[in-house]
A and B are shown apart, each in its own frame.
Chain A
């Protein structure tokens, strides 16, 4: 176990280094820069700007400088927002995205697992059809359609909520619902599939033969194995959901990190691009590790070996 985690940690560190290096150079080779704008600045002013941010140095020098400050935990200043540092922006916005993500994840898990389980145990009845249709619709209708539809119905026509914003507790409801439904849909499909497979196995028949109630069979015996596909899905999904959704955050005007992640690329905000990529990479690696550990615990066939 300890050896497994150490080795995975070292692998992740190497992967992270490669991600940083690739991102650093890729973002530099994209046409246009942080100061490319419609109002052309004179070459002299451009030189002054570049000198201020050290962009006049050779690229390898800038790369080493960046790695140096990264080692000190400093992600550098933002190009787009001159009076904020990338560290500040990340610390400001990650909690917002994480809050939205946590609520949405709860919605997604409760809704998705409940519907998937119902569909599996009432297979080929109307319950299954309703739950499966929900899954299909949830997967195929994108959030930028569901979001405005819910706003139209619940905010504009019924007046229960604000159309957008992130000011009071009520403002959490609509975005969390939209994001939650988007993730509940695949979770319900995966749960149904996983559970159906497990329910046909011998140990379930044994449990039933021993007189266990159907509820006990499902919750105690079947779900543990049936949720394995959901757990593998959750690794990258949780990373995605916690680092924010660009679409939801833009539609609902939420000050989260998901918007910065996308907009920084449009703005050629080199340091912010790198900062958000590093954040995302670290989260994915950590969560994938967590998934592997969880799977080993849930599935006796899997052993933690490097």
Chain B
């Protein structure tokens, strides 16, 4: 909170009793000068807050979790709030430590065949469900079977398509599950046969699509591949991770308590985590200040600078494995001309954009992959070269922007995207003499426009599903589900197919370098910056370390009294 003088507010406050308008004025002044006490984050009034229910010695962490989760059946959800909850309740075969090393999860060890196609995971003997049952290999196999079954219709089923037969099974071309590459040779071995080498498989398996489900419990409430059965209700819910579900009051809170059966329970330090669904960043920030939240889901854009200055120990900005970009429709004029696409890309001042507009420590993007992504460092970057941009635009037939066709930039209705779009609109007008108009649509209409390629240039973002450059190059395959630019390049597709078969990581990364070169030459999308994840976090919270995918294991976190 800014530590400025409160004189304006005090002045107004003296006249408070006089009139009602003065009250409103005083409050307004109070908020504008923002004068607050330094210890703004303090305990709320007793008996009312979730914080106040803290029994002595019990560590309860209050976590702002964004929107209300759709469900706790993690095979049918897709959102970020659900992701945070999945990490709390479940554990897959392997896990990741904060430094992104693959560490044992339910599997205590594993072997990979020399050709990279056969994986054998050996489950630990002390892995248990929260009802005391052991976690078996069959639980994993049946969970995978459910995940890829056509009847369930899981949105993330394709995360399992690395395994032989999985894709055909989802598409209904294969009905005999026994013919897929998911096997359980015995009660404590899970065997996966891949259709091609997938060097990042262990990282990809951190995704909740790979978590096991309590199969015996699910079966009690109906057929395995049915959704919407009551197994996710708190009274029925069973999990195998560090926490178990105690209470779920929709739109109020989800209470997770330490699991008494988790194999690594001695590492877990916090007794309870309360997930509060708070949609507005401003509301979160106010709750943080009254002590109703220890960790928020985001920070209001306008408050980042304030916290940076006054309470830097409460502000956390972590790199986030994602790219903010603009997507061109390469079939619509004028973006069918690569020179126009390049001109627009080269004429953006990304340094100013991240310093003055986006404000949360983002990295300007001059290539297509976040910096140092699992050891991959792009050797190609396009320059911020205004002279070259002007030359390209003139060569395309629009010297100084003359005769440039009418262009609409589409973004989804959100303050942040509008501000960024306005900044770019200015830059292009000033640098190139090109005028574009801005056009916003409500989220689903905008998504529909994207998937039907009904736009000229469109704001977009991509957060990777696993930490590997492949997750960024995979996007631009000809006709790929997220490409949506109409752009395609046979050489690029060929390289993408050969990458996974490369003998060593170095050889594979060399192929990605060639692919990145193609992207920079043809510029089907315009990279702007690499995301960061910012949140407010109480200095009392220790050991809260996130990976660039915003994966974090609650078992390393602690809460000081």
* CB of A23 closer than 8 Å to a CB of B: no
Interface mask (B159-201 → A, CB under 8 Å = 1, otherwise 0): 0000000000011100000000000000000000000000000
* CB of B76 closer than 8 Å to a CB of A: yes
Count chain A CB atoms within 10 A of each CB in B30, B48, B70 and give the residue with the most. B48
A161-B48, A163-B283 known; A156+B444 contact, CB < 8 A: no
> Which of B147-155, B263-271, B337-345, B495-503 sits within the interface?
B147-155
Asked whether A164 lies within 8 Å of B292 as measured between CB atoms, the reply is yes
Asked whether A133 lies within 8 Å of B21 as measured between CB atoms, the reply is yes
Closest-CB distance, A266 to chain B (whole angstroms): 7
C-alpha spacing A155/B287, complex, angstroms: 9
Closest-CB distance, A130 to chain B (whole angstroms): 6
Closest-CB distance, A139 to chain B (whole angstroms): 13
Q: How many residues of B contact A (CB 8 A)?
A: 70
A39-B78, A83-B229 known; A165+B292 contact, CB < 8 A: yes
Q: Which B residues are in CB contact (< 8 Å) with A252?
A: 283
- For chain A, the bracket of interface size reads 35 or more
Partner of A141, one of B24, B76, B156: B24
* CB of A52 closer than 8 Å to a CB of B: yes
C-alpha spacing A26/B387, complex, angstroms: 51
* CB of B85 closer than 8 Å to a CB of A: no
Asked whether A48 lies within 8 Å of B151 as measured between CB atoms, the reply is yes
Closest-CB distance, A174 to chain B (whole angstroms): 11
Asked whether B444 lies within 8 Å of A152 as measured between CB atoms, the reply is no
Interface mask (A144-180 → B, CB under 8 Å = 1, otherwise 0): 0000111111011101111111111111000000000
Asked whether B279 lies within 8 Å of A250 as measured between CB atoms, the reply is yes
> Which of A29-37, A235-243, A271-279 sits within the interface?
A29-37
A81-B70, A155-B286 known; A32+B445 contact, CB < 8 A: yes
C-alpha spacing A17/B283, complex, angstroms: 39
A130-B20, A167-B49, A170-B47 known; A31+B278 contact, CB < 8 A: no
C-alpha spacing A165/B286, complex, angstroms: 11
C-alpha spacing A82/B76, complex, angstroms: 9
C-alpha spacing A61/B397, complex, angstroms: 54
* CB of B99 closer than 8 Å to a CB of A: no
Count chain B CB atoms within 10 A of each CB in A163, A165, A268 and give the residue with the most. A163
Interface residues of A in 31-86 (CB under 8 A from B): 31-33, 35-42, 44-46, 48-49, 51-52, 77, 80-84
Asked whether A84 lies within 8 Å of B154 as measured between CB atoms, the reply is no
Q: Which A residues are in CB contact (< 8 Å) with B250?
A: 81, 84, 89, 92, 255
Q: Which A residues are in CB contact (< 8 Å) with B289?
A: 156, 163
Interface mask (B423-455 → A, CB under 8 Å = 1, otherwise 0): 000000000000000000011110111010000
Closest-CB distance, B159 to chain A (whole angstroms): 10
Partner of A82, one of B227, B277, B481: B227
Asked whether A255 lies within 8 Å of B76 as measured between CB atoms, the reply is no
* CB of A6 closer than 8 Å to a CB of B: no
* CB of B482 closer than 8 Å to a CB of A: yes
Asked whether A31 lies within 8 Å of B172 as measured between CB atoms, the reply is no
* CB of B228 closer than 8 Å to a CB of A: yes
Q: Which A residues are in CB contact (< 8 Å) with B278?
A: 164, 253
Partner of B70, one of A80, A134, A151, A167: A80
Interface mask (B63-77 → A, CB under 8 Å = 1, otherwise 0): 000001011110010
> Which of B37-45, B90-98, B352-360, B515-523 sits within the interface?
B37-45
Q: Which A residues are in CB contact (< 8 Å) with B31?
A: 148-149, 152
Closest-CB distance, A29 to chain B (whole angstroms): 12
Q: Which A residues are in CB contact (< 8 Å) with B482?
A: 39-40
C-alpha spacing A39/B37, complex, angstroms: 44
Asked whether A165 lies within 8 Å of B153 as measured between CB atoms, the reply is no
Other 12 A-B pairs with CB < 8 A, given A80-B70, A167-B48: A41-B481, A48-B152, A49-B155, A52-B227, A83-B72, A83-B230, A92-B250, A151-B286, A156-B36, A162-B45, A167-B252, A168-B47
A-B CB proximity, top 6 nearest: A32-B444, A48-B153, A255-B251, A168-B48, A163-B286, A40-B481
Q: Which residues of A contact B (CB under 8 A)?
A: 30-33, 35-42, 44-46, 48-49, 51-52, 77, 80-84, 89, 92-93, 130, 133-134, 137, 141, 148-153, 155-157, 159-171, 250-255, 259, 266-268
Jot down 11 A-B pairs with beta carbons below 8 A, ordered by A.
Answer: A31-B448, A82-B73, A151-B286, A152-B286, A156-B40, A162-B44, A163-B287, A253-B277, A253-B287, A255-B249, A268-B444
